[in-house]
Structure 1
C-alpha cells in the first residue's frame, strides 16, 4: 500500500474519530440499545437457579451472555443507514468524487468509532462482571488465538451484509427498512437471546450454519471455551465462506447500483 493511500486512510480515521466524539451521546444510546444479551442473562440465570438447562448452568449463562454483549459491541456496523441516506439524497456523488473509494470511507468511519464505543460499553460490562462473579474464558490456546480473527470476521460479515442491503437503495426507496427483517432473523438465530445449542433438534443444526450464528454465536462460544479445536477451525472456515458469498453479492450490487445511479444523472 502506497504512503499516499495510507495518509488518506489515516485522514479518514481521524475524521471518523472526531465524528464519533461529536456524536458520543448517540453512540451511548446505541450501546444501551444492544444490552439485550444482559437482559437475557438475568432471565436465563433465574431459570437455571434450580439446575442446568441443557449444557448451561448459571455460570455458563453468565459467561455466554457477557461475551455476547462484548462481541456485539466489537462487531457492530451502521453502514446500511449511512449508505441508504447518501444514495437517496445524492450525497453519494460527493463521495464518488473523492480520491478514496466510498466503501473505504465507510470502513474507516465505522472502525474509528469502535474505540469510543468500547469505552462507553466498558462500564456496563464491568458492572455485570462484578454482579455475576466474572466470565470463564477458554483455556485452549488455539481456540483463544482463533477468537481474535473470529471477532474480526464477525465485524466484516456484519459490514458486508449491511453494505449489500444498503446498495438496494439504488433501486428501492427505503432499503434500510429491509435491514429490520435481517435484524429480526439475527436476534432469533444468532444466539443473541438464547444459545443456539439450546434450540430444538434440527433447528439448532440449521441455525449454526447460517450467517447469523457466524456473526455472533460462533465467536462467543469460541471465546468461552464451548468449542473444540476442530469445531473452532470449522467455524472459521464457515465464516470465511460466508464472507466470500456476502462479499460477492455486495460487490455485484455496488457495481450494478452505480450504473443505475449514474443513469439518473446523480
Structure 2
C-alpha cells in the first residue's frame, strides 16, 4: 500500500529507485545549510594550517622524512584528512538514536524498507554534499599549495572508490551507536566514547603510521583507519597499486562485517522494542 501510494511499485528496479530518492533527499537536506558549510570550510582550512606547522616541523626534525612521509606526502595527508573530516561521521551522532528513544522508530519498521539501509542511504546523501562543498575544495587547496600528488593514474579512480567506502563505513558504524538505544536509556555516553576513539584511531590528528607499534596494532583492529587513513593513503600516493587494492579489500571487509552486525542488532532490537504512551 505504501509503495503504491508513492508510485514506486514493487521489484528490484522500484527498490533501487526508492533508495536513489532517499540519497537525493539526504543531499538536498544538507544543501540547505550552505552558511554552515562555508563556516566549516574556513574552520577546516584554519586547522589544516595549524597541522601544517606542527607536522612539517616533525618531518624536518626527523631529517626530511618520517615513517615514509616527506613534506609533500605529509601535506597530502593533512589536506585530504581535513577534507574528509567534514564528510565522515566520526562523532557517532545518529538521528536513529533519537527515534529509538522517543519510540518513533516504530514508524520506520512499518515502512517497506530496510531500516538500516534507508538510514545509511540518507546519511550518505548528506555526506556527498559535504564532499562536494567541503572535501573537494579542501583537497584543491592542498594541491594548490604543494601537496604531493599520486604518480599512478590508478590512484584517482581507486581513491574515489576508497573515499566512498570510507563514507559508507563511517555511517554504518555510527548506526551501531544509534541502534544501541534499543537496550540503553541514553546513548550519549557511548557516542562521546565513539567520538574520542574514532578521530584518533582513524588518523585525524597524525597518520596511523606514526603510532607506536602497539597502538598501531590496536588501531588496525578497529574499522576506524578504513574510514579515513586508507582513503588518504590511496589519494596521497603513499602506497603502490597493490597496496591500494589491499586497502580497498580491507575497507570492503570491514563494511560487510559492520553492516551484518547492524542487521543483527536491528532485528534483535525490533523484538526488544517497547513503546509506551497514548
TM tier relative to shorter chain: 0.7 to 0.9
Q: What is the total number of aligned residue pairs between the two structures?
A: 263
Aligned match of 1:72: 85
Asked if structure 2 preserves the Cα contact closer than 8 Å seen for 1:31 and 1:117, the reply is: no
| Gap runs ≥5 in structure 2 | 1-10
Deviations 1:63-91 (A, max 9, x none): 11111123334444778420111111122
SS in 2 for 1:12: helix
Structure 1 residues 6 and 34: alpha-carbon distance in aligned structure 2, compared to 1, 3 A threshold: same
Matching of residue 193 in structure 1 with residue 205 in structure 2: yes
Aligned match of 2:32: 22
1:129 Cα offset (Å):
4.4
Aligned match of 1:63: 76
1:12 Cα offset (Å):
2.6
Deviations 1:74-131 (A, max 9, x none): 444778420111111122122233333333332332122234323431555544544x
Matching of residue 39 in structure 1 with residue 50 in structure 2: yes
Asked if structure 1 preserves the Cα contact closer than 8 Å seen for 2:23 and 2:125, the reply is: yes
After superposing the two structures, state which structure 1 stretch, 110-119 or 86-95, moved more: 110-119
* Residue in structure 2 matching 1:112, options 125, 139, 145: 125
SS in 1 for 2:97: helix
Asked if structure 2 preserves the Cα contact closer than 8 Å seen for 1:71 and 1:219, the reply is: no
After superposing the two structures, state which structure 1 stretch, 62-71 or 230-239, moved more: 230-239
Aligned match of 1:82: 95
**Normalising to structure 1: TM-score of the pair?**
0.83
Structure 1 residues 205 and 142: alpha-carbon distance in aligned structure 2, compared to 1, 3 A threshold: farther
Aligned match of 1:232: 244
Alignment partners' CA distance in 2, 1:167 and 1:26: 28
Deviations 1:155-207 (A, max 9, x none): 12211111112100111122243122122122222221111222223433443
Matching of residue 169 in structure 1 with residue 170 in structure 2: no
Aligned match of 1:92: 105
SS in 2 for 1:225: coil
